[in-house]
Amino acid sequence: MKKIILTLSAALVLASCAVKLVTPTQPDVDRMQAKYPGYTLDELNQGKSMFEQHCAECHKLKKPTKFTEAELQKTVPIMVKKVNKKHPNTLDEKSQDLILKYMITMSGHKK
């Protein structure tokens, strides 16, 4: 019984630390059309998926709203290099671009 309680407590603590990312919507894409002409909701969701899959492998996910565009322009390429060092050729230039555009777009998301 004691072991079950400890396991459940640990699971609750971990769940409370998880970042809940906002699901991108068409208004997010529309907001970025001037910056990224032709940008689509599908591309935004691909970037989110890659961010969740590859970034969470090494550290807990960070909310995009915690970063400025300048910070993201600097940080995302560094993180992509780390992913590719651990798993060679996992993220190509297009993947990096999708992650970066997702992060920049959602950094300006208003609740």
Report the pLDDT value the prediction gives residue 15, as an integer from 0 to 100: 42
* Helix-, strand-, coil-residue percentages of the chain, each rounded to 5: 65, 0, 35
DSSP state of 24: P
- The span from the CA of 29 to the CA of 48, in Å, is 13
User: pTM of this prediction?
Assistant: 0.79
Residue 78: the pLDDT is: 95
pLDDT at position 110 is 65
Residues of the chain with confidence (pLDDT) below 70: 1-19, 109-111
The answer to whether the beta carbons of residues 103 and 51 sit under 8 Å apart is yes
Q: Given this model, what pLDDT does residue 41 score? A: 97
Domain boundaries, the chain: 21-107
pLDDT at 1: 56
